[in-house]
Chain A
Amino acid sequence: DQQVKQNSPSLSVQEGRISILNCDYTNSMFDYFLWYKKYPAEGPTFLISISSIKDKNEDGRFTVFLNKSAKHLSLHIVPSQPGDSAVYFCASLNTGTASKLTFGTGTRLQVTL
């Protein structure tokens, strides 16, 4: 049973516009939600996270929003750049000795010129 879901397998956005990637979760017992970015033939790289007790976290062009009542989080990229084209995964994390990441299915973002 997928605990973290990304319902949009792909997204195409024009350069300079906003990209919004969405993620839904079923289990509320997580400490953090994270976004990872992955290029082909490379491992995922950490992008941004949000604590389960917060609503928003911002880092440069990237902002993550958490709506706990809807069990939904989103990643906003503004402005989008061609180098942002990649597969984006949301993930949940429980900290502690038994910490491990649970990933969503991924959304392929293409930023067009």
Chain B
Amino acid sequence: DVKVTQSSRYLVKRTGEKVFLECVQDMDHENMFWYRQDPGLGLRLIYFSYDVKMKEKGDIPEGYSVSREKKERFSLILESASTNQTSMYLCASSPPASQPGGYTFGSGTRLTVV
């Protein structure tokens, strides 16, 4: 069974901390994505990656960076956490040129910044 695993289900961090959210997939997918989900705003794309060491900005990249050193792992980094980054973060992966249904999501990390 294909899997996308996010390392933490719940995180509480302080304002100004550097935060790492980790995502690992076991499907040998080329594409990986980071979204955040907020009430009334849906899922918004932060960053995505089409290959190792490749990254592209999504719709809301400000305040975030990413790292993809290995194909199976895609990390989201909050350089200096702020309260407006309190959210549910969702990682996904897909094959290249994916058809509908080809995306697999992790269970999410609920981050609270205090």
A interface residue numbers (CB < 8 A to B): 6, 9, 32, 34, 41-46, 49, 89, 93, 95-106
Set B41, B42, B97, B101: member contacting A46, Cβ < 8 A: B101
Task: Identify which of residues 59-107 in chain B touch chain A, using a CB-to-CB cut-off of 8 Å.
Answer: 90, 92, 94, 96-101, 103-107
Residue from A42, A97, A99 in contact with B108 in the complex, judged by beta carbons closer than 8 Å: A42
CB pair A105–B40 under 8 Å, yes or no, is: yes
Give A34's nearest chain B residue, CB to CB: B100
Q: How large is the interface on B (under 10, 10 to 19, 20 to 34, 35 or more residues)?
A: 20 to 34
- Min Cβ gap A6→B in Å is 8
- Pairwise interchain contact A41-B45, C-beta atoms closer than 8 A: no
Count A-B pairs with CB separation below 8 Å.
Answer: 67
Where chain A touches its partner, the secondary structure class is loop
CA distance A38 to B16 in the complex (A): 31
Query: Contacts of B9 on A, CB cut-off 8 Å?
Result: 41
CB distance from B107 to the nearest CB of A (A): 5
- The docked-state distance in angstroms from the alpha carbon of A105 to that of B58 is 16
